[in-house]
Structure 1
Amino acid sequence: MPTGKVYLVGAGPGDPKLITVRGLEALQRSEVVVYDRLAGPQLLNRIPDHVERIYVGKRPDRHTMKQEEINRLLVDLALQGKTVCRLKGGDPTVFGRVGEEAGLLRQHGIDYEIVPGITSAIAVPAYAGIPVTHRELASSFSVVTGHESPDKLDRSIQWDKVTNATGTLLFLMGVAKIGYISEQLIRYGRPPETSVALVRWGTRAEQATLVGTLADIEAKVKEANFQPPAVIVVGDVVKQREELQWIERKPLFGRRVLVTRARSQASELADRIDELGGEPYEFPVIETRLPERPEAVQAIREALACAEAYDLVVLTSVNGVEYFFRWLERTGTDIRRFHKAEFAAVGPKTAEALRARGITPCPLPEKFHAESLLDSLGGRVKAGQKALLPRGDLARELLPKELGALGVEAVSVDVYETVPTGRKDEFLLELLREGGIHAVTFTSSSTVTNLIEALKGMGEEAPAELLAGAKLVCIGPITAKTAEKYGLSVAACSEASTIDGLVQTLIDSL
């Protein structure tokens, strides 16, 4: 059996977007991912579900796996011919023990690659508005481990040389030893009034910053019960925070938002949340696909076969547009055969999707749902006309029913179907139980139904109670009514059934 390969990858400080392009490539091409506590969980959602995931990180209460065991695990997996990604928080070469892992791989003749990551020593202070260097304040910096007992610190750190060696001192994993660190720095020449900042969980929703001086920082840490992990910054650069704070000024800073819509559509909403300083947690509970049922396929083919007969084609979603054109291609139906028909769209995104394909829809309704569409059509439809409604299998029957009442022959076909993803995410359950999800967004009734079912599938008997600690924000009243049927308390509902409307409602409710 040929030997596999191991990628030793730095995941960055926590924000999944801060992984390098090379690191993401290695993650996505691997068959096994070996990861620890500091690797952001959302990175794992960017790899295929069939990839094996092995957690080897350390928890505050216990060590899941010793370093020697991790080293051996990487060797064993590679000898089985597997491509392995060892995903580490920050940069693997900065207190990441990558030398031990790479050394054993080399001894066994296993091919490996070290993929650098953005170290938390630099990135975490930057997210708190603290540059580690400044032309007028500090032209150099040192990175020191603080995760040792005082006697070990004294053996590994030459305090008399380190204290004033560089303008900025950065201590990783030293919260528990902050008093001793401050004491030593003062003893060897740093003024007691030297500025200090502790930044916890930098780049994540839990990011918090505590500022003081060498003289009082220990007392402040105890008073605030400031817990690790955190980066400690010592030096005049800390004063820059007053002017350079940036992410903390964004409206969704400190908020983790659960995004439940289909994976293919989640990116737009997730990107908006990210731009506004929030942390999107993507958990797509639905996915769309072409229907495979013979009767559904036959119905579509029959509906498209008489394209010339339609006076109106109504699209109620971007998915409807996408799958309608996929069926045109699949059946070899020329769009010009619909020359007699006027196209109508529900919502600006649906209209935009049509315009992108060279079709200008009739004027939009003021509100983006079927009822308003009927009102906006007004005198455009007449008895005896024929309308095609390409839509999803979960679409409401209101539109065809009301068109029928007007004497219009409405032909509804399911050009796509919505199915649950069946995904499981234990880390999401942990976040919900601990209050780590601050808001949940629902973009359709199906996302509500399938999130409830997904939570039940993960063993939660009372999903409504689990979600009670988060603000639930719905896109439009119909989705809100579905949520309420499941016993969910809706915090806010956007008046406009658009992503822009949902995002603004989210900001207002948090």
Structure 2
Amino acid sequence: MTREVRVAVFRPDDERLAQAVELLDSLGATPVPDPMLAVEPTGNVPEDAPYVVLTSKTGAELLAEAGWLPGEATLVCIGPTTAAAARAAGWTVDAMPEEYSSVGLVERLRGDVAGERVAVARSDHGSDVLLDGLREAGATVEETVLYRLTRPEGAGQSTVMAAGGELEGVCFTSSLTVENFLDAAAERGVRDEAVAGLNDAVVGAIGDPTRETAAANGIDVDVVPDHAEFEELACRVVEAAAPSYHE
């Protein structure tokens, strides 16, 4: 007999969460949606620069809504999801790294940006790896915060489930989702129990920075996908969790 495989997801409460729930359901898992991020737009747009770097689908969509145009800039997107949003806005995507991460972006641009201005448009929780790496490559970096990421009021029911051993898997999609999960658990007085519950489950992290944040907080990460894409993360978490639950 196959037991239930309950997998918590922490994406913002918009189409991303809906798609995550649909995907997990299609994989035969029971989704546990618990949004740990809310998007608060700043209204800012990047100034003209020879290179513009977008690090999220949300950022591309906010710029499109604001009527921003890349003009003559070389438009660089962190991965396929961001690139698809940029193309949907009618923009040409000129470059994308092989590795969909801040490290990948630096590697992709390292030989091109010496002496150039690079506008990085992203959230208020972006990694310093990207800015520092581009500066080390000789670029003048101008960061524009397009939106702030906050923890929604009431988030954290999944922390209680984790503490009670009621989760078989979780999908962390950023360092901030890890931090907000732990903060929500602490508010409920179950931080240590929730961490212990996660360590009895299959923990997925979308990339190495997220894995490192989890590990620094005592969470053992079982799955890091080859590409920083949610679909691959979810598939691997469910695949790792499901075989353990057959009687």
TM-score of the superposition, structure 2-length normalised? 0.88
Which residue, out of 431, 444, 447, partners 2:161? 431
Contact 1:387 1:409 in 2 (8 A): yes
Identity among equivalent pairs (%): 25
Contact 1:258 1:282 in 2 (8 A): yes
Q: Deviations over 1:15-44 (max 9, x none)?
A: xxxxxxxxxxxxxxxxxxxxxxxxxxxxxx
Any idea what SS the aligned residue of 2:224 has?
strand
What does residue 449 of structure 1 align with?
A: 179
Q: How far apart are residue 260 of structure 1 and its match? A: 1.2
Q: Which moved more, 1:453-462 or 1:473-482?
A: 453-462
What does residue 136 of structure 2 align with?
A: 405
Residues 408/432 of structure 1: CA separation in 2 closer, same or farther (3 Å cut): closer
Contact 1:424 1:458 in 2 (8 A): no
Q: How far apart are residue 397 of structure 1 and its match? A: 1.6
Any idea what SS the aligned residue of 2:222 has?
strand
Distance (Å, rounded) in 2 between the aligned partners of 1:445 and 1:424? 16
Aligned: 1:506 with 2:245 = no
Q: Aligned partner of 2:32: which letter?
A: Y
What does residue 56 of structure 2 align with?
A: 317
What does residue 348 of structure 1 align with?
A: 80
Which residue, out of 167, 180, 195, partners 1:464? 195
Any idea what SS the aligned residue of 1:504 has?
helix
Number of residue pairs the alignment of both structures matches:
239
Any idea what SS the aligned residue of 2:149 has?
strand
Q: Which moved more, 1:260-269 or 1:414-423?
A: 260-269
Aligned: 1:273 with 2:24 = yes
Q: Deviations over 1:153-201 (max 9, x none)?
A: xxxxxxxxxxxxxxxxxxxxxxxxxxxxxxxxxxxxxxxxxxxxxxxxx
Which residue, out of 84, 91, 96, partners 1:359? 91
Aligned: 1:393 with 2:132 = no
Q: How far apart are residue 433 of structure 1 and its match? A: 4.1
What does residue 285 of structure 1 align with?
A: 36
Q: How far apart are residue 323 of structure 1 and its match? A: 2.3
Any idea what SS the aligned residue of 2:83 has?
helix
Q: How far apart are residue 422 of structure 1 and its match? A: 2.9
Residues 507/499 of structure 1: CA separation in 2 closer, same or farther (3 Å cut): same
Q: Aligned partner of 1:312: which letter?
A: Y
Q: Deviations over 1:189-238 (max 9, x none)?
A: xxxxxxxxxxxxxxxxxxx6xxxxxxxxxxxxxxxxxxxxxxxxxxxxxx
Q: How far apart are residue 465 of structure 1 and its match? A: 2.1
Q: How far apart are residue 365 of structure 1 and its match? A: 1.5
Distance (Å, rounded) in 2 between the aligned partners of 1:386 and 1:370? 17
What does residue 244 of structure 2 align with?
A: none
Q: Aligned partner of 2:137: which letter?
A: L
Any idea what SS the aligned residue of 1:491 has?
coil
Any idea what SS the aligned residue of 1:380 has?
coil
Which residue, out of 486, 494, 510, partners 2:217? 486
Structure with higher Rg: it is 1
Q: How far apart are residue 477 of structure 1 and its match? A: 1.2
Distance (Å, rounded) in 2 between the aligned partners of 1:366 and 1:321? 19
Q: Aligned partner of 2:80: which letter?
A: P
Contact 2:165 2:197 in 1 (8 A): no
Residues 461/451 of structure 1: CA separation in 2 closer, same or farther (3 Å cut): closer
Q: How far apart are residue 454 of structure 1 and its match? A: 0.7
Any idea what SS the aligned residue of 2:81 has?
helix
Q: How far apart are residue 505 of structure 1 and its match? A: 1.7
Q: How far apart are residue 378 of structure 1 and its match? A: 4.6
Q: Deviations over 1:256-281 (max 9, x none)?
A: 10111211221222211101111101
Contact 2:167 2:197 in 1 (8 A): no
Q: Deviations over 1:288-313 (max 9, x none)?
A: 1113xxxxx6xx36x43xx2xx1111
Residues 464/433 of structure 1: CA separation in 2 closer, same or farther (3 Å cut): closer
Residues 410/433 of structure 1: CA separation in 2 closer, same or farther (3 Å cut): closer
Any idea what SS the aligned residue of 2:200 has?
coil
Contact 1:285 1:423 in 2 (8 A): no
Distance (Å, rounded) in 2 between the aligned partners of 1:382 and 1:438? 47
Q: Aligned partner of 2:212: which letter?
A: K
**Moved segments of 4+, more than 6 Å:** none
Q: Deviations over 1:374-416 (max 9, x none)?
A: 2223543231x21111100010122222222233221101110
Distance (Å, rounded) in 2 between the aligned partners of 1:422 and 1:452? 14
Residues 425/369 of structure 1: CA separation in 2 closer, same or farther (3 Å cut): closer
